[in-house]
Structure 1
Amino acid sequence: MPDPSPRSDSRDSAELAQFGYAQSLERRTGRFASFAVAFAFVSIATGIFTTYGAVLNSSGPVGIWTWPIAVVGQLAVAFVLGALASRIPVTGYHYQWMSRLANPILGWIIGWISFTFLAIVVVAVDYTIASTILPVLLDYESTATIAWVMTAAVLVIQALLVAFSTPWAERVNNSLVTLELVGMALLTVLLLVVAAVRGDMDFSNLFSKGAVPAEGFWSFGDWTSAGPWMLGFLLGAFTIVGFESAANLAEETHDPERVVPRAMCNAVLASGVLGFVFLIAVTLAAGDPVALAESGTPIADVINTTLGSVVATLLLLMVVLAIFACGLVIMITGVRLTWAMSRDERFPGWQQWSQISPRFHTPFKATLLYLALAQLILAIFAHSETALFTLFSAATLLPAVMYASTVVLYLVKRTSLPVNGKFDLGKWEIPILVVAVVWLAFELALFRDAAFKQAWAYVLVMVAIGAAYLGYLLIRRGRAGLTMPAMASIDAELRE
């Protein structure tokens, strides 16, 4: 465990001061809590439950074999981001990295894109509870209004935890992550054992295309569409994201240069291994994959058929709690990013959102802003299923854009980055970078599919809004007015 002694906190505060900031948040986050933040954002229970049915329809059961490839790609990305997080252990993650290693204007743009992602994904994730899972769990017919009200309530509960107590928010998240880890492992073992004993395992499902036509299945597609097998990668691309959220609590973490990068990589590795074994277990016990693809809750149906209604109910309850933890961590991350950009006086209304509550020791006002924005997005999109699909699509697209830009930044700056001895890629740097670049280029190619047209439109609208505010900042302050605090110190370090 990292040493949470006053001496350790003093050392962390002194290292933070090198980046031009005074310690204003409490350092309470340890190793497991940092891992839990990264793992909760990834949330394999949430991602697999939400997207497994879509993969059955787009790629068939054989689409699950894209998962390990996505895991390897995202793990390479996690190593690269971990190397940056270790060298710049400051709240604001992509925004800070890009601002300090490229320039503040590009940093502001990537910060705005990150904020846009976090603002929409919390709504998309929480809405899943109200629209998809609770109606099945509680056996009632959902309406758009009911889903809206319940999602709004979930957002309020999460905001209360984030606003009033970071320690309690972490305790809740730690408990729910532990439950998800244990629950998913037990569920996987039960599925494999019971299906084997009953003789219900169908190994042909692992290589079945389901109802997807065999002709053209392995095609890369054309300029406006991706081939069926390529669309299977969306399962991993949607699920294995957000692991770098641990870096957004860097100023609240003990020894963040060492703890945060390992938390990120371990979260991806744990999610990848456990998620893939679970996918294999579900697919083996799936029965008729064509019929299963027609279900709105295929995972729950397989559990119900194989293990019974009681276990299926427990699964749904676990998924609800996992999604709640995922939304909670997304809100924590979004609030920290808002606060970090406001602290540098480059977020609309920064005078209010840069404040830390002296009573609760949290970015209280930034939390209220984030909650209000999330409720606004929910109100706009709650009555349109198409719009909610757009939210999910954008929530998959935006991380790929963020990761690609940050990895390219690392690629450009890698020879001048100092070695800190706490998390360095060493001789593996080039192979890891090759894997990360190839994977991200392939992932971005997926989003040329026409299904993401509205998601691209949403992204462009949000970028236009951000560009307008950036223009205002440049006109009012000039380029020099966007310089990062203590920029000279890190520039000097990079020149050594």
Structure 2
Amino acid sequence: MSDYKASAQAHCSSTTVGEEGYQAQFERTLGKFESFAVAFSFISITTGLFATYGSMLASSGPVGIWTWPIVTLGTLLVALVFGLLASKIPLSGFSYQWASRLVNPVLGWWFGWASFAFLAIVAVAVDYSLAQVALFPLLGWEYTAAAGASTTVALLVVQMLLIIWSTPILTKINNMAVGAEVLAVFGLIVAIGVAVAFFGKGNASNLVSTGIIHTDNYYGWLGPFMLSGLLGAFTLVGWESAANLAEETHNPKQVVPRAMVNAILVSGVLGTLFLIVVSLGLGDHIEELTKSSAPVADVIRMTLGEVFSKIVLVVVCIAIFACGLVIMTSNSRLIHAMARDGRLPFSEKLSVVPRPTGGPLWATVLAGVVSIAIVLSFYTSPDALTQLLGAATLFPALLYSGTVLLYIFTRHKHVHHPDDFTLGKWEWPVVAGACIWLFVEMCVFIIPSDFRVAQMYVLASMGVGVLVFLSVWINRRKQLERMPALGTYL
């Protein structure tokens, strides 16, 4: 790896791909903490919990928080399988690269397209969350559909410019945001816990309350309790973004798998404690807060006061902004990875990296413009956030399921290297557990009618994908039929 590292630090503006493998275009600036921070920031428990807690109250009541540990365990098993693949093929593009090299480039293209569609919409969902559940309550503004959409567009533009400008700078922003988020969540857990335990600002019965939801068939198959899995399924995603920045990471074969797993573990533990104290802090106001557009912010204000609430919301805004920044960064790297292989229209432009310490220019612009187009389609929708959350949850479930199946059916093709991340005798129990979890998750998000908008987004995205694929097949078929050698990336 040392020879590659040395070459990676040279300025390289060429974007051609030869039979000998890829040319270095990025500096390896990410260490163990930075890789962890990328995965943790994409997960961003403050983003997910601030955004989805209200939806959970409306669909399942406070007791729905107990799906969170279940989703954490299932996600951890999936991440371990991803770690095995990320270690064997440490390249930007994650599932696109894995499917292309282990099966064929056509299947890889569809993995890449699905990942692109997911990242484009989850960036919008996160920035909508920043506006609705954090920024507007912080500033005391009344939230409207038009105001939320306008703010989201502005946030997307700022994030796009930062990514193009400097990778080290956005890394520093993200590291600061992660540190602030961990401190803020831990501080909230302690402060709200103290307010509940010693000042009577909570109600322990909330932890087993269904709130305004009728108890008929509550725990039945696909009942309200199962639907509350959206809380964890929306939040505990994106940890694979660490794999998407593998070419910018030192020793990615070992660092990336551990970064993904550690990000889920930390998020799972902190998220569980945070959900418990927030649910206790609902007090006797469950019905009132279920109707709120920002119930977590309201709980903080009720238990800790107006001043403390404002301070926390500032930190939350920073954390959610960093989450959106990482998501768009990940999408830009995916587009770049597909473009340098000639897999997209205008690949020559989309693969350009002007500086090794900056982002891919036109790939980042494309990621931002597509997300802005999605915002415009939701511009007048008063429940845009709820619809976006569903769409941003179904896509990763599909991608995770496809990738685990990819691992199972191509296991015999994997070449073992001494420095690979391995699970030893636990490999097949982990794979089996991941399959069971993903089957349950897919049932929850496909069978009920609650996720029809999400399903329509998936179908529409894949329909657009057919048109793009046909263009690539007609104009770039030779490039679509081969993959550059891994070379020094192993």
Relative to the length of structure 1, the TM-score reads 0.92
Q: What RMSD, in angstroms, separates the aligned Cα atoms of the two structures? A: 2.3
Are residues 1:9 and 2:5 paired?
A: yes
Specify which of 333, 336, 345 is matched with residue 333 of structure 2. Answer: 336
State the AA in 2 paired with 1:443: E
Specify which of 336, 352, 357 is matched with residue 354 of structure 2. Answer: 357
The corresponding residue for 2:467 is 468
Distance in 2, Cα, partners of 1:434 & 1:160: 42
Residues 73-84 of structure 1: matches in 2 within 5 Å?
73-84=74-85
* Structure 2 counterpart SS, 1:385: coil
Distance in 1, Cα, partners of 2:460 & 2:321: 29
Q: Residue 19 of structure 1: CA displacement? A: 8.0
The corresponding residue for 2:433 is 435
- 8 Å CA contact retained: 1:26, 1:361: no
- 8 Å CA contact retained: 1:355, 1:365: yes
- 8 Å CA contact retained: 1:8, 1:255: no
Distance in 2, Cα, partners of 1:342 & 1:8: 22
* Structure 2 counterpart SS, 1:243: coil
- 8 Å CA contact retained: 1:131, 1:142: yes
Q: Structure 2 vs 1, CA of residues 170 and 489 (structure 1 numbering), >3 Å: closer, same or farther?
A: closer
The corresponding residue for 2:300 is 303
Residues 34-433 of structure 1: matches in 2 within 5 Å?
34-220=35-221, 226-288=222-284, 289-358=286-355, 361-420=358-417, 421-433=419-431
Distance in 2, Cα, partners of 1:216 & 1:357: 58
- 8 Å CA contact retained: 2:42, 2:241: yes
- 8 Å CA contact retained: 2:106, 2:480: no
Q: Residue 145 of structure 1: CA displacement? A: 3.3
- 8 Å CA contact retained: 1:99, 1:108: yes
Distance in 1, Cα, partners of 2:358 & 2:7: 20
Q: Residue 386 of structure 1: CA displacement? A: 4.5
Q: Structure 2 vs 1, CA of residues 131 and 346 (structure 1 numbering), >3 Å: closer, same or farther?
A: same
Distance in 2, Cα, partners of 1:307 & 1:141: 22
More displaced stretch, 63-72 vs 420-429: 420-429
More displaced stretch, 316-325 vs 177-186: 316-325
Distance in 2, Cα, partners of 1:418 & 1:50: 42
- 8 Å CA contact retained: 1:126, 1:155: yes
- 8 Å CA contact retained: 1:61, 1:283: yes
Q: Residue 8 of structure 1: CA displacement? A: 7.4
Q: Structure 2 vs 1, CA of residues 396 and 322 (structure 1 numbering), >3 Å: closer, same or farther?
A: same
Distance in 2, Cα, partners of 1:356 & 1:331: 16
Q: Structure 2 vs 1, CA of residues 291 and 387 (structure 1 numbering), >3 Å: closer, same or farther?
A: closer
More displaced stretch, 292-301 vs 247-256: 292-301
* Structure 1 counterpart SS, 2:215: coil
Distance in 2, Cα, partners of 1:458 & 1:28: 36
Distance in 2, Cα, partners of 1:477 & 1:170: 35
Q: Residue 359 of structure 1: CA displacement? A: 7.8
The corresponding residue for 1:20 is 21
**Which runs of 5 or more residues in structure 1 are unaligned?**
221-225
More displaced stretch, 336-345 vs 300-309: 300-309
* Structure 1 counterpart SS, 2:415: coil
Distance in 2, Cα, partners of 1:177 & 1:192: 22
* Structure 1 counterpart SS, 2:245: helix
Q: Residue 419 of structure 1: CA displacement? A: 3.1
Q: Structure 2 vs 1, CA of residues 376 and 269 (structure 1 numbering), >3 Å: closer, same or farther?
A: same
Spell out, residue by residue over 1:418-459, the C-alpha distance to the aligned partner (whole angstroms, 9 max, x if none).
Answer: 333441011111111111101111001111211211221111
Q: Residue 120 of structure 1: CA displacement? A: 1.2
Q: Residue 414 of structure 1: CA displacement? A: 2.3
- 8 Å CA contact retained: 1:36, 1:173: yes
State the AA in 1 paired with 2:379: A
State the AA in 2 paired with 1:172: I
Distance in 1, Cα, partners of 2:20 & 2:242: 19
Distance in 2, Cα, partners of 1:177 & 1:487: 33
Distance in 2, Cα, partners of 1:475 & 1:70: 42
- 8 Å CA contact retained: 1:357, 1:363: yes
Spell out, residue by residue over 1:317-337, the C-alpha distance to the aligned partner (whole angstroms, 9 max, x if none).
Answer: 222111101100001001000
The corresponding residue for 2:484 is 485
Q: Structure 2 vs 1, CA of residues 135 and 477 (structure 1 numbering), >3 Å: closer, same or farther?
A: closer
Aligned residues with identical type, % of pairs: 47
State the AA in 1 paired with 2:297: A
Q: Structure 2 vs 1, CA of residues 29 and 462 (structure 1 numbering), >3 Å: closer, same or farther?
A: same
Relative to the length of structure 2, the TM-score reads 0.93
Distance in 2, Cα, partners of 1:19 & 1:191: 58
More displaced stretch, 392-401 vs 297-306: 297-306
State the AA in 2 paired with 1:436: A
Specify which of 438, 442, 445 is matched with residue 444 of structure 1. Answer: 442
State the AA in 1 paired with 2:402: S
Distance in 2, Cα, partners of 1:29 & 1:66: 33
State the AA in 2 paired with 1:297: A
State the AA in 2 paired with 1:376: A
- 8 Å CA contact retained: 1:191, 1:306: yes
* Structure 1 counterpart SS, 2:402: helix
Q: Residue 387 of structure 1: CA displacement? A: 4.9
State the AA in 2 paired with 1:461: A
- 8 Å CA contact retained: 1:202, 1:285: yes
- 8 Å CA contact retained: 2:87, 2:256: yes
Distance in 2, Cα, partners of 1:137 & 1:218: 36
- 8 Å CA contact retained: 1:131, 1:147: yes
- 8 Å CA contact retained: 1:162, 1:367: yes
Q: Residue 133 of structure 1: CA displacement? A: 2.5
Spell out, residue by residue over 1:312-369, the C-alpha distance to the aligned partner (whole angstroms, 9 max, x if none).
Answer: 1122222211110110000100100011100000112211111110485431121122
State the AA in 2 paired with 1:260: V
The corresponding residue for 2:14 is none
State the AA in 1 paired with 2:428: I
Q: Structure 2 vs 1, CA of residues 131 and 203 (structure 1 numbering), >3 Å: closer, same or farther?
A: closer
State the AA in 1 paired with 2:97: Q
Q: Structure 2 vs 1, CA of residues 227 and 19 (structure 1 numbering), >3 Å: closer, same or farther?
A: farther
Distance in 2, Cα, partners of 1:416 & 1:100: 10
- 8 Å CA contact retained: 2:343, 2:480: no
Alignment length (residue pairs)? 480
State the AA in 1 paired with 2:147: I
- 8 Å CA contact retained: 1:76, 1:435: yes
More displaced stretch, 303-312 vs 392-401: 303-312
- 8 Å CA contact retained: 2:8, 2:25: no
**Which runs of 5 or more residues in structure 2 are unaligned?**
10-16
More displaced stretch, 331-340 vs 145-154: 145-154
Distance in 1, Cα, partners of 2:343 & 2:270: 40
